[in-house]
Amino acid sequence: MVQGMDGFVGLSMVCDRESGRCIVTSAWETEDAMRASADRVKASRSRAAEVMEGASPEVRDWEIALMHRRREAPEGACTRITWVRRDPAGMDDSIATYRARVVPAMERWYGFCSVSGLVDRGEGVAAISVTYESRDAMEQSRGQAISLRDQVATETGVEVLEVAEFELALAHLRVPETV
């Protein structure tokens, strides 16, 4: 349905089969294209909630502040998402630190595929998604991720709100590189 809409760039879906939690992300060339799609996708959100046995969809608008792919995610890939908060005035500094220090470190980790950073500057929140080639690769990176996340969060004044791990069910997000 969304592939035919003006300004559509891609779609991804992650899920946790145990909890039933599912996150679907659509990407648009411009904010105007995203806003123009809102009414047209409303019915599909309602239908998805029915299919997922009455789930209540939460809709958020994010800016893609960071996108880097080392390689395409293969079948069986998994994604760790970290939600953080910080003073909105320092968001650009945090993004710059992430680009300069965190992304190069992650590129050396076993099974690393890609990283994206979505931000809501007004709220001062961000969601950082790191995709690995397999669940095993994601699990092997867990210790490194915790250490690096704690160090950078302390240095930049970022509060970690939540960390969750998912299966990458659909990866059709064709957003250009920003790193």
Q: All domains of the chain, ordered by start, with CATH?
A: 63-167 (3.30.70.100)
pLDDT computed for residue 145 by the predictor: 96
What one-character DSSP code corresponds to residue 59? -
DSSP labels, 99-115? IIIIHHHHHTSTTEEEE
At 11 the pLDDT is 87
pLDDT recorded at residue 179: 59
Tokens of 110: 């076993």
Q: What parts of the chain have a pLDDT lower than 50? A: none
CB 13 within 8 A of CB 29: no
Q: What is the DSSP letter of 178?
A: -
H or E segment to which residue 89 belongs: none
d(CA 105, CA 145) in angstroms, rounded, equals 10
Q: What pLDDT score does 178 carry?
A: 62
What are the Cα distances from residue 114, in Å, to 82, 105, 153, 176? 14, 12, 20, 12
